[in-house]
Structure 1
Amino acid sequence: MSELQSMNPEEAVEMYIETRKGDTADATVQKHRYRLQKFLEWCGEADVDDTTQLNGRNLHKFRLWRKEDGELAKVSLRSQLSSIRTFIRFCENVDAVEQDLHKKIELPDVSPEESSRDTVLEPERAEKIQTFLQRFRYATREHALFELLWRTGVRIGTARSLDLEDFEEEEERLRIRHRAESGTPLKNAERAERYIAISTDLTAILSDWIAQNRPEVTDDHGREPLFASSRGRCSKSTLRRTVYRVSQPCYYGDSCPHDREPSDCAAEGYAGGQKCPSSVDPHTIRRGAITHFLSEDVPEKVVSDRMNVSGKVLERHYDKRSEERKTEQRRQFLSNV
C-alpha cells in the first residue's frame, strides 16, 4: 500500500480541476468547481487543512452539513455528493487519502418523481456515451437516436415522428411535422412544426444509419420512419428502452456506481435498463441538452424556438443552471458596460 502524501484541500481541488480540463466539457468542469467550493468551505469550518485527515466520519459530517441547507433539494444534494465522491476517488489515485474512501460517501435515495423534475444528463456523461457509441456502435439505431436527442433536445415523440423525407441531408436540417392522422402527433400540434438545423457530424451519422443499418420498412400508414425496426416504426417504449440502456454506466464502460455485478443485475440488458438507478429517460436528456445550450451562451430565444418550449416553461422546468453559473454568464456580457 502506498504511503499517504500530505496535501492541502485547495491544492487537491486545483489539481483535480486541471486534470479534468481538456477531457471534459467546460460547463461540467465549472459545475465541479462550484460544488467543490462548498467542500472547501466546510474544510475551513472543520479545520481540515490536510487531505490525509479525511475519513468516513468527517465526510459524513460534511454530508450532514450540506443537508442542513433547507433549500437544497435531495436530488441536488445527491449530485453534489456524487461530485465529491469523484473528487475523493481522484485523491485516492494520487495517494492523498486512504484507498476506497469514496465508497464511504453515501448518496441519498431519490424517488423517480424527484429525479424526473430536477435531474439532467451532464455533458461529461453525454460525452462518454457519445465516445462509446461512436467507437463501438457507430451508425446503429442507438447511436443515431442518442446523438439526435442530445444535439437537438427534441422530445422522444418528435424523434419517433420523423420520416426519411424529413431528413434533408443536403440542407443539414430536419423538418418537424404534426401528422396526427397517421399516428405521429406532436405535443404542441401545428405550433410545434419547424425546421431544425443540425451539424455536419449528426448529418453524417443519420445518413450512415439510413444507408447501413436501417431496415427498409414502412409503417402502417405507408410512411418510411427514420427510426425503424424490422416491424416498422419504433414505438415510444422501444425508443425509451434504448435510452435507458445506453445511459447505463456499465454499457458505456464505466464501473457500476452501485457495486453490482452485471451477471447478477436485474437491470442488465435492454429489458432491464429502466431498473438501473443510474439510467436516464429521454426527458432527462432533453433537460440536459437545454441546460447545456444555455450554459454555452446560446440565447434563450434560440433555445426556446429550437426546442419548442415557451420562455416561461423553459425557465421554470428546463433551465437547471445554478444561480452562480447564471451570474457568471451575465458578468461576461456586462463586463465592458
Structure 2
Amino acid sequence: MTDAPSLSPREARDRWLDKLRVQRRERTVYSYEYRLKLFVEWAEEQGIDDMRDLSGWDLETYETHRRSKDPTASSLNNEFQTLRLWMEYLARIEVVDEDLPDKVDVPDVPKDEETNTTRLEHERALEMIQQYREIPKLYGTRDHVLLEIAWHTGARVGGIRALDLRDVKETELENGETAHFVEFVNRPETDTPLKNGPDGERPVALLPEVYEVIDHYTSVRRPDKVDDEGRQPLLVSQQGRPSAGTIRQWMYKTTLPCRYGPCPHDRDPDECQYTKHNHRSKCPSSRSPHPIRTGAITWMRNQGLPVEVVAERVNASVDVINKHYDVEEPLHEMLRRRVPHLNNLSLDSEPTSP
C-alpha cells in the first residue's frame, strides 16, 4: 500500500464515476453519484481526507449513521451495493485494503419489500379504456392515446416520449391481412434515447381498435407541431415534444376517475383541488405511468401470454418481469402452475423418468 495514491473521498468517488461513464449510461452513473454523495459528505464531516485510512470500523459507523435516518430497506440495500462496488474498484487499484469491500455489509431487503405492488388493476384499466372509447369528447384525444399505448404496449415513459408519427405503422401480411404496430427506435442524437439503447428497439403489435384510436388522434385532433430537432412527435405539447415529467402529469390527469365517470371519493369535481394542475397526483385514484406499466405486464401474463413474449413486448428481461412486475393474485398463480401439469397427477397417468 506504500505506492497507493492519496485520494480524498470526493476524489476517489469522482475517479470511479469518470471510469464508469465510458461503459455505463449516464442515468446509471448519476444514480451511483447520488448514493455515494451521502457517504462522501459523511466522511468529510468525520475528517476522513485520505481513503487509505478508511477502515471496517468506519464502514460500520457509517451504516449505523444511515440507519438512524430511517431509510427504506430497498434504498439502504441499493446504497450499500453501490458502496461495495466502489470499494472493490478502490481495492483493485490499491487505494484501500484488499479485504475492505468484504466489510461492506449490504442489508437484505425483506421479501415483501422487494417489489412495488402498486399498480393499476386491470379491471379499472379496461373500464377506463372502454369509457374513453365510448365518450365522444374523449375518444381519440391525446390523453386517450397515451392511455391506450401505455396499457397495450407496457412501454416506459421514455419509450412513449420517443415515438414519432412515422413510428406508427401498418403493413400487409402475406395472407392479405393488415398488421398494425408502433416501432420504438433509439435516437439519442436527437434527445430521445431508449432506456436500453439499441437493445430497446422493437416493433410492438397493436390491436386494430387501438390503431384506430391513434389514427383518429393523428388525423383529427393532433396539432401540427414539430420538436426542436424538426421531428414530428406522436404526442405533442404546446412546445412540441413533451418532457418525461409532462407525460407523467398527463397520465395523472388521464386516470382521474371523474374525467369519465362519477368520483369514487364523493367529491365535487368542480370544487375538488385534485382536478387542478399540479394536484392531480394527490388524487387517491390517479396513477403515474409506472403503475400502469406494472398493471399492464401483470394483465398480459394473466391473459396467458408467455413471459418471453411479454418480455420482448415491454423490453424487460424474463427475470425482471418475474421478480418486479408479474405480481399475480394467488388464484391466477395457482391456475397457471397447475394447468400444464394437472394431467400428470391423474391416477391413470404413466410415470415419467426423473
TM band (smaller chain):
0.5 to 0.7
Q: Which amino acid aligns with 1:223?
A: R
Q: Which amino acid aligns with 1:267?
A: Y
- TM-score, normalisation: structure 2: 0.60
Q: Give the secondary structure class of the aligned counterpart of 2:125.
A: helix
> In 2, distance between residues paired with 1:263 and 1:232?
30
The C-alpha deviation readout for 1:143-187, integer Å capped at 9, x for no partner, is 111011111111111011001111113341111111111011111
The C-alpha deviation readout for 1:191-217, integer Å capped at 9, x for no partner, is 101111111111111111100011111
Q: Which amino acid aligns with 1:336?
A: N
> Does residue 240 of structure 2 align to residue 232 of structure 1?
yes
Structure 2 alignment gaps of length 5 or more? 1-112, 172-178, 345-354
> In 1, distance between residues paired with 2:318 and 2:223?
39
> In 1, distance between residues paired with 2:328 and 2:305?
13
> In 2, distance between residues paired with 1:131 and 1:173?
20
Report if aligned partners of 1:161, 1:185 keep a CA contact under 8 Å in 2. yes
Which has more helix, going by share of residues? 1
Report if aligned partners of 2:140, 2:216 keep a CA contact under 8 Å in 1. yes
- TM-score, normalisation: structure 1: 0.63
Q: Which amino acid aligns with 2:210?
A: L
Equivalent in 223, 230, 234 of residue 222 of structure 1: 230
The C-alpha deviation readout for 1:90-126, integer Å capped at 9, x for no partner, is xxxxxxxxxxxxxxxxxxxxxxxx8x92111111111
Q: Which residue of 2 aligns with 1:203?
A: 211
Q: Which residue of 2 aligns with 1:313?
A: 320
> Does residue 271 of structure 2 align to residue 272 of structure 1?
no
Q: Give the secondary structure class of the aligned counterpart of 2:204.
A: strand
Equivalent residue runs for 1:1-337 within 5 Å: 117-136=116-135, 137-170=138-171, 171-257=179-265, 259-337=266-344
Q: Which amino acid aligns with 1:141?
A: R
Q: Give the secondary structure class of the aligned counterpart of 1:271.
A: coil
Q: Which residue of 1 aligns with 2:26?
A: none
Q: CA deviation at 1:251?
A: 2.0
> In 2, distance between residues paired with 1:267 and 1:255?
11
Q: Give the secondary structure class of the aligned counterpart of 1:174.
A: strand
Q: Give the secondary structure class of the aligned counterpart of 1:315.
A: helix
Q: CA deviation at 1:315?
A: 1.2
Q: CA deviation at 1:290?
A: 0.2
> In 2, distance between residues paired with 1:305 and 1:179?
19
Q: CA deviation at 1:270?
A: 4.1
Q: CA deviation at 1:252?
A: 2.1
> In 1, distance between residues paired with 2:143 and 2:277?
11
Report if aligned partners of 1:177, 1:192 keep a CA contact under 8 Å in 2. yes
> In 2, distance between residues paired with 1:270 and 1:288?
25
> In 2, distance between residues paired with 1:131 and 1:325?
24
Q: Give the secondary structure class of the aligned counterpart of 2:278.
A: helix
Report if aligned partners of 1:248, 1:276 keep a CA contact under 8 Å in 2. yes
CA RMSD of aligned residues (A): 1.9
Q: Give the secondary structure class of the aligned counterpart of 1:229.
A: coil
Q: Which amino acid aligns with 2:215?
A: S
Report if aligned partners of 2:263, 2:269 keep a CA contact under 8 Å in 1. no
Report if aligned partners of 1:243, 1:282 keep a CA contact under 8 Å in 2. yes
CA separation of 1:230 and 1:169: change in aligned 2, threshold 3 A? farther
> In 2, distance between residues paired with 1:219 and 1:157?
15
Q: Which residue of 2 aligns with 1:86?
A: none
> In 1, distance between residues paired with 2:166 and 2:278?
31
Q: Which amino acid aligns with 1:242?
A: W
- Aligned identity (percent) is 37
> In 2, distance between residues paired with 1:127 and 1:324?
20
Q: Which amino acid aligns with 1:130?
A: I
> In 2, distance between residues paired with 1:139 and 1:169?
18
Decide which structure has the larger Cα Rg and report it.
Answer: 2
CA separation of 1:243 and 1:285: change in aligned 2, threshold 3 A? same
Q: Give the secondary structure class of the aligned counterpart of 1:260.
A: coil
Q: Which amino acid aligns with 1:161?
A: A
Q: Which residue of 2 aligns with 1:13?
A: none
Structure 1 alignment gaps of length 5 or more? 1-113
Report if aligned partners of 1:245, 1:269 keep a CA contact under 8 Å in 2. no
Q: Which amino acid aligns with 1:143?
A: H
Q: Which residue of 2 aligns with 1:79?
A: none
